[in-house]
């Protein structure tokens, strides 16, 4: 039984993170206009969002800058062009993906950067490198979170070992990431309990980043809130890879917290997100994403199905079952 206060009352420890540019950038290769990014920044300030994730600190050796928009790489000067000195309560975040970034060189000292939070993304098999990245970012003066991806594919003992390793680092937040949108609220409750036990042991916070393959991103996020998870990811109009994420408008509408206002989100969606869809940018729940979620598979095949403009759903399901 959930503590009703954790669902109904104001919780000062809650932090909302806008991941629209980063997860949404996976839909359009990070080609957002400066007008869009600046307007999103202002909408986040007006709505009381705590952190805005600008994108990735991706390696320019591994990824061709000519094939992606600038938010794939999040150069400090590009962020400054949007936020200036960022004399606001909104903090700036970027994601550093294990094995896909040159974190020792591309992440500057915090004193020289507009960035506040480094979000390290890792799978269980790359936890040692993630720990080194966390140490590096913390020494440079940043807040640090660690997103443990594909949590639906982990074994409990492996997860506990990983959390024990990460707990001994200076990471501030452990993140539950339902990368495949495969989990149900009951599973989230059990996983959150494991995360919170280690967070309590090591003095950390816990966050959640949910995907919407089974239309459960919002349900799983508020399940986590009821379990005591404090850091919550959302995206405007649910924009994100494949089926997308927990919609910011749903999340802020749910939270009983006077610091948040949902109206600026509606204004931004009305002016900018609707336009993106009209211009042909595609994201959100559809049958192909449901199928990969049900089968606990990476949505890459469903993304390709969408790009190919296929609509032979039954045939696609057969393909997934055979490969599974």
Q: Specify the long-range contacts of residues 305-312, CB closer than 8 Å, at least 24 apart.
A: 306/242, 306/282
Buried/exposed code over 211-222 (b: 16+ C-beta within 10 A; e: otherwise)? bbbbebbbbbbb
Residue 281: enclosing H or E segment and its boundaries?
Answer: none
- CA nearest to 56, candidates 115, 111, 143, 135: 115
Rounded Cα distance between 30 and 22, Å, is 8
CB 172 within 8 A of CB 204: yes
- Cα gap 316→273, rounded to integer Å: 29
Backbone φ and ψ for 18, nearest 5 degrees, come out as: -90, 115
> Which phi and psi (to 5°) does residue 109 adopt?
-65, 145
Question: How many whole angstroms separate alpha carbon 53 and alpha carbon 19?
Answer: 5
C-alpha distances in angstroms, 276 versus 98, 215, 285, 304?
30, 21, 16, 20
Least confident window among 9-13, 156-160, 180-184, 228-232:
9-13
pLDDT in tens, 45-89: 999 999 999 999 999 999 999 999 999 999 999 999 999 999 999
Instruction: Kindly report the number of other CB atoms within 10 A of residue 311's CB atom.
Output: 11
Confidence of residue 11 (pLDDT cuts 50, 70, 90): confident
pLDDT above 70 (res 9): no
Using the predicted structure, report yes or no on whether residue 118 has a pLDDT greater than 80.
yes
């Amino acid at each position: 039984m959930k503590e009703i206060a954790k669902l109904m009352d104001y919780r000062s420890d809650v932090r909302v993170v806008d991941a629209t540019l980063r997860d949404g950038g996976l839909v359009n290769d990070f080609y957002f206009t400066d007008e869009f990014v600046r307007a999103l920044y202002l909408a986040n300030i007006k709505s009381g969002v705590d952190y805005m994730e600008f994108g990735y600190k991706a390696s320019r050796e591994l990824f061709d800058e000519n094939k992606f928009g600038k938010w794939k790489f999040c150069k400090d000067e590009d962020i400054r062009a949007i936020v200036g000195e960022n004399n606001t309560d909104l903090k700036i975040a970027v994601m550093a993906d294990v094995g896909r970034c040159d974190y020792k060189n591309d992440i500057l000292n915090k004193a020289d950067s507009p960035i506040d939070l480094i979000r390290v993304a890792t799978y269980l098999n790359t936890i040692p490198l993630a720990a080194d990245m966390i140490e590096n970012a913390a020494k440079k003066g940043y807040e640090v979170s660690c997103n443990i991806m594909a949590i639906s594919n982990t074994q409990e003992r492996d997860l506990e070992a990983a959390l024990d390793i990460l707990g001994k680092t200076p990471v501030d937040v452990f993140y539950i990431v339902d990368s495949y949108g495969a989990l149900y609220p009951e599973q989230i409750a059990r996983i959150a309990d494991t995360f919170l036990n280690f967070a309590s042991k090591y003095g950390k916070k816990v966050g959640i980043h949910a995907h919407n393959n089974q239309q459960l991103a919002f349900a799983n996020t508020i399940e986590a809130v009821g379990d005591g998870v404090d850091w919550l990811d959302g995206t405007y109009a649910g924009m994100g890879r494949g089926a997308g994420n927990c919609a910011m408008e749903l999340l802020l509408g749910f939270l009983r917290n006077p610091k948040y206002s949902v109206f600026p989100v509606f204004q931004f969606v009305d002016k900018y997100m609707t336009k993106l869809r009209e211009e042909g940018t595609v994201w959100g729940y559809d049958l192909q994403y449901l199928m990969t979620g049900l089968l606990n598979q990476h949505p890459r095949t469903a993304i390709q199905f969408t790009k190919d403009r296929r609509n032979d759903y039954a045939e696609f399901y057969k393909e997934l079952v055979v490969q599974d």
